[in-house]
Chain A
Amino acid sequence: MPFDVEAVRKDFPILAREVHGVPLVYLDSANTSQKPQVVLDTLTDFYANHNANVARAVHTLGSEATNAFEAARGKLAAFVNAPDRNEIVFTKNSSEALNLVAYALSNAATTIGAERFRIGPGDEIVVTEMEHHSNLVPWQLLCQRTGATFRWLRIGDTGPDGGRLVEDEIDTVITERTRVVAFVHQSNALGTINPVSRLVARARAVGALTVVDASQSAPHLPLDVQALGADFVAFTGHKMYGPTGVGVLWGRYDLLAGLPPFLGGGEMIETVDMTGTTFAAPPHRFEAGTPMIAQAVGLGAAVDYLSALGMENVAAHEHALLEYALPRLAEVEGLRIIGPATAVDRGATISFTLAGVHPHDVAQLLDEGGIAVRAGHHCARPVCVRYGIPATTRASFGVYTTTEEIDALVAGVRRVGEVFR
């Protein structure tokens, strides 16, 4: 079935609204995506008809809520091809998922039986220079807590191969001392899709754990955790057409089963005594307290929606948009694309600068024409530092983006250039 973007657009009620008296052109999906009606209906239906707490109430509503929540876990497991549904841990977002791994690793320092996860002086944690702060700061903090050394893979120079990791350095930066390699699948600031298999192979060869931030790939590419080969994969619901407040950590079951908890509280225990506590098996060990029940159920509806569209179709649609947009934007006078210049190994997120105009002015003037983009350092400040710029303007596409909207963006950016010239 061909991808019908006009039919898709009808599923998203917000796309019918106007901004400043003109139709909304929403090009900020990498920041957060809009929500299809089916997700909104699922949230309402849950609260209107099935609302109860999960895993403790014995009444009918409690059973319905528990079944809906656990069914969502099953849907997420299928969506990322996880071998076991108990490998899906619900978190509030990607940041919490990544912090969960980092804190569980440092908690291993004082947990009997978790010796193999202990990290200390002499050990190294490797990230990349293109990480979102959420996959950078937790590892800096882990190094501070444990005395491990923080290292990173650099972004290459600009030009045809610019905006990508310096692959020659993979073997020199990831060494026998490396305990964790944490990297982004698709950069939120550059659009770059990283060489996962290469990074995972090197990490495995030296016995390091791999943690992949898939926040920007899960909504746009078929995501198969078994094919990726990583040990942990984190992503967030609100960027993949689901509600805010729910994210996912996938981890290999044997690793999750060996790690101590991150947060303590209700629902993550096996038995509690005043003299000590034993913990539940994964995933519940890592889901302390009442979880984001409605949001998880809503995310289940979002992945059903994406699966019905077909992730291969979604990826092909967005790749076509990227191939359409890159040369047209590059033609605009004074515009410099920050990130890979070609559509190869690249997602449909395009950062750019416009000579003589601050990115916030670009974004503000585009908004006056109804075009929503993001301006700033995109929570990946080292990327801007690497390019010697304070910020970029970023347009990012989704399932509902059209070539007409890209035309509007290109015309809008030209207009901005004229206003400031």
Chain B
Amino acid sequence: MSVPMDSIYQQIILDHYKNPHHHGLIEEFDAEVHHVNPTCGDEVTLRVRLADGAIADLGWDGDGCSISQASTSVMADLVVGKPVAEAMALQERFLELMQSQGNAELTEGDEDVLEDAVAFEGVSKYPARVKCALLGWMAMKSAVVESDRQEETA
């Protein structure tokens, strides 16, 4: 069973929902955050470990709609192993894409850096679902900021 070409439920999204990546909480971590999306009742708990200015590892657990869970999975694939600055730039670009109300003009460069995350472009047309797609990304950003703060006070 397939979905229409213009469906927001691209196969990539369904695949990540059914088999999420980096799923499960890691034992060694610098910060843990818990984010919720009251519209759908989506929840995500996310842990990160930083090393040498990069996201050394990230693990998450969650419950909610396919958009929120798949987006968190895609995000985890993209940022693990990346320098923090690069992960934050990706987060910024994904946020812009989600706030485009369906008018984003994706460049080849975007597809190169956002990879599977471009599949969420269709979600930007549905204001009620944008928060679902952003949930994991916002959690990652908070966790990184939290890790930095702990490092400063350590």
Minimum Cβ distance to chain A for residue B115 (Å): 23
20 contacts between A and B (CB under 8 A): A20-B4, A358-B40, A358-B64, A360-B39, A360-B65, A360-B129, A361-B65, A361-B67, A364-B129, A365-B7, A365-B9, A368-B4, A368-B6, A377-B41, A390-B63, A390-B64, A391-B40, A391-B41, A415-B1, A419-B9
What 0/1 readout, one digit per residue, does chain B (27-66) give for beta carbons within 8 Å of chain A? 0000000000001110000000000000000000001111
Given contacts A419-B9, A420-B66, contact A360 B1 (CB under 8 A): no
User: Beyond A364-B8, A364-B129, is A358–B66 a contact (Cβ under 8 Å)?
Assistant: yes
Give Cα distance in the complex from A420 to B14, angstroms: 7
Residue numbers of A with Cβ under 8 A of B are 20, 357-358, 360-361, 364-365, 368, 376-377, 390-391, 415, 418-421
B106 in the interface (beta carbon within 8 A) = no
Q: Are A368 and B7 in contact (CB under 8 A)?
A: yes
Whether the pair B3, A364 counts as a contact (CB closer than 8 A) is no
Contacts of B1 in A (CB 8 A): 415, 418-419, 421
- A20 CA to B126 CA in the complex, in Å? 13
- Main secondary structure on B side of the interface with A: loop
**B39 contacts which chain A residues (CB < 8 A)?**
360, 376
Q: Does B74 contact A (CB under 8 A)?
A: no
Q: Across the interface, do A361 and B3 meet the contact criterion of CB distance under 8 Å?
A: no
For B117, what are the chain A residues with a Cβ–Cβ distance below 8 Å? none
> Cα distance A418–B8 when bound, in Å?
16
Q: In the bound complex, how far is the Cα of B39 from the Cα of A111, in angstroms?
A: 41
Min Cβ gap A384→B in Å is 9
Min C-beta distance of B91 to chain A, whole Å: 23
Q: Is B132 an interface residue (CB 8 A)?
A: yes
CA distance A358 to B65 in the complex (A): 5
Say yes or no: B9 contacts A360, CB within 8 Å.
no
In the docked arrangement, what's the CA distance between A360 and B9, Å? 12
Which parts of B71-114 form the interface with A (CB within 8 Å)?
Answer: none
The docked-state distance in angstroms from the alpha carbon of A361 to that of B64 is 10
Q: Which chain B residues border A357 with CB–CB below 8 Å?
A: 66
CA–CA, A105 and B129, complex, Å = 41
Assuming A365-B9, A391-B41, is B132 touching A360 (CB within 8 A)?
yes
Within 8 A of A (CB), among B105-154: 126, 128-129, 132
Give the residue name and chain of the B residue nearest to A375 (CB): B40
Please give, as numbers and ranges, the residues of chain A lying within 8 Å of B128 by CB-CB distance. 360
A16 and B97 alpha carbons, distance in the complex (Å): 33
**CA of A306 to CA of B26 in the docked complex: distance in angstroms?**
61
Q: How far is the CA of A420 from the CA of B3 in the complex (A)?
A: 10
| Measured CA separation A358–B14 after assembly (Å) | 13
A419-B4 contact, Cβ under 8 Å, with A360-B65, A365-B9, A391-B41: no
A51 CB to closest chain B CB (Å) equals: 34
Question: When the two chains form their complex, are residues A368 and B40 in contact, meaning their CB atoms are under 8 A apart?
Answer: no
A179→B14 CA distance, assembly (Å): 53
Bound together, the chains give a CA A361 to CA B9 distance in angstroms of: 9
The 4 closest A-B pairs by CB, nearest first: A390-B41, A358-B65, A418-B1, A360-B65
B64 CB contacts on chain A under 8 angstroms = 358, 390
Chain A residues, CB < 8 A from B67: 360-361
A224 vs chain B, min Cβ distance (A): 38
Residues of chain A within 8 A of B9, CB atoms compared: 361, 364-365, 368, 419
Interface residues of B in 1-17 (CB under 8 A from A): 1-4, 6-9, 14, 17
Contact A360 B40 (CB under 8 A): yes
Name the contact of B3 in the complex, choosing from A377, A390, A419, A421 (C-beta under 8 A): A419
Compute how far the CA of A420 lies from the CA of B128 in the bound complex, rounded to whole angstroms. 21
- Shortest C-beta distance, A199 to chain B (Å), equals 31
Taking CB as reference atom, which chain A residue is nearest B3? A419
Of the listed residues B14, B18, B40, the one surrounded by the most CB atoms of chain A closer than 10 A to its CB is B40
Q: Report yes or no: B66 in contact with A361, Cβ–Cβ below 8 A.
A: yes
Report the bound CA distance from A360 to B17 in whole Å.
Answer: 14
Please give the distance in Å from B23's CB to the nearest CB on chain A: 16
